[in-house]
């Protein structure tokens, strides 16, 4: 078994990137830090860092040891948390969901935390495949996705239905909008744009939208931060497709026009968790808060 003290020193060194700062953080001497690293390297049988004067680079073996050590830290924290009596208002709950949902839900989860200071929400914005992967790996406790997963290790329940919207600059003439208008404006791309656009065009019930091809549209911008995606649209620099909740949380929503298709396009949201005999009570507390926000 690798010495946990040496592993802690190694983690700190990698995260600070500096021997002196590691020594200060761990209340050690710099030679003491170097000794821990050398002992850990001997124990592992590999160089974990490549030294270069006063700096260093982590080796492939070092990265593997770092990942292992971080995982051990997480497991230890989970073990200690699991030894305490279960409480609906104490502990960490990790939620993985889309960026638009993260933006919508986070303020409400902070309100919940403000009421119960020992209940700590962690939110990660991620695409569906990562949400599912994180639930299965244990890196997330609760996930929200837009279709029912087929993996039998997961439990799902329907939460709500969220409209998808084609969002245009305020100057756009939506009464005479067509494919050439869309191509003229150009697309503000984002990580979920292709999926949202495809779904919207297929279900909107309008022939011209079914002719839209993602790879044929001019791209006039790319943003991977949800809170920023509508800024170029508001400035007349392009269009995009996002859930309605993204517009509701945008501070300049008066500068956005929403196209009204013949058929409203919506996504069904599903809450997913891993199969378990008894879920911690704090999960139910957070899930109730999520449901109260999404079913208003």
For residues 168 and 227, membership in a common domain is answered with yes
Neighbours of 25 (CB within 10 A): 15
Provide the pLDDT confidence category of residue 145 given band limits of 50, 70 and 90: very high
For residues 57 and 98, membership in a common domain is answered with no
- Each residue of 35-60: b (16+ CB within 10 Å) or e? ebbeebbeebeeebbeeeeeebebee
For residues 212 and 256, membership in a common domain is answered with yes
Query: Domain range spanning residue 243?
Result: 162-264
Neighbours of 123 (CB within 10 A): 19
The CATH code of the domain that includes 116 is: 3.40.190.10
Model pLDDT for residues 108-124, shown as the tens digit of each residue: 999 999 999 999 999 99
For residues 212 and 183, membership in a common domain is answered with yes
How many helices (H) does the chain have, and how many strands (E)?
12, 11
pLDDT at residue 52, rounded to an integer: 84
pTM beyond cutoff 0.85: no
More confident residue, 82 or 257: 257
The CATH code of the domain that includes 8 is: 1.10.10.10
Model pLDDT for residues 203-248, shown as the tens digit of each residue: 999 999 999 999 889 999 999 887 899 999 999 999 999 998 888 8
CA dist 72 and 78 (Å) reads: 10
Q: How many domains does the chain have?
A: 3
Lowest mean pLDDT among 62-66, 174-178, 181-185, 254-258: 174-178
Residues 6+ apart with CB under 8 A from 191: 99, 127, 224
For residues 274 and 157, membership in a common domain is answered with yes
For residues 285 and 142, membership in a common domain is answered with yes
């Amino acid at each position: 078994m690798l010495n946990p003290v040496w592993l802690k020193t190694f983690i700190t060194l990698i995260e600070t990137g500096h021997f002196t700062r590691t020594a200060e953080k761990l209340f050690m001497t710099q030679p003491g830090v170097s000794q821990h690293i050398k002992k850990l390297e001997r124990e592992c049988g590999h160089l974990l860092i490549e030294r270069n004067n006063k700096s260093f680079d982590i080796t492939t073996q070092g990265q593997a040891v770092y990942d292992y050590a971080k995982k051990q830290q997480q497991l230890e924290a989970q073990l200690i948390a699991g030894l305490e009596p279960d409480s609906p208002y104490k502990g960490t709950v990790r939620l993985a969901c889309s960026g638009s949902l993260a933006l919508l839900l986070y303020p409400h989860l902070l309100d919940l935390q403000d009421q119960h200071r020992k209940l700590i929400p962690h939110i990660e914005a991620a695409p569906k495949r990562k949400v599912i992967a994180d639930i299965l790996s244990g890196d997330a406790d609760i996930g929200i996705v837009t279709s029912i997963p087929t993996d039998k290790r997961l439990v799902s329940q329907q939460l709500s239905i969220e409209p998808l919207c084609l969002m245009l600059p305020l100057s756009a003439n939506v009464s005479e909008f067509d494919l050439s208008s869309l191509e003229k404006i150009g697309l503000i791309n984002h990580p979920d744009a292709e999926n949202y656009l495809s779904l919207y065009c297929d279900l909107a019930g309008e022939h011209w939208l079914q002719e839209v091809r993602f790879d044929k549209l001019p791209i006039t911008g790319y943003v991977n931060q949800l809170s920023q995606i509508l800024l170029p649209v508001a400035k007349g620099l392009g269009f995009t497709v996002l859930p309605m909740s993204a517009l509701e949380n945008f501070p300049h929503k008066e500068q956005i026009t929403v196209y009204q298709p013949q058929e409203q396009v919506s996504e069904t949201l599903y809450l997913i968790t891993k199969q378990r005999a008894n879920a911690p009570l704090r999960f139910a507390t957070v899930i109730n808060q999520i449901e109260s926000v999404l079913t208003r």
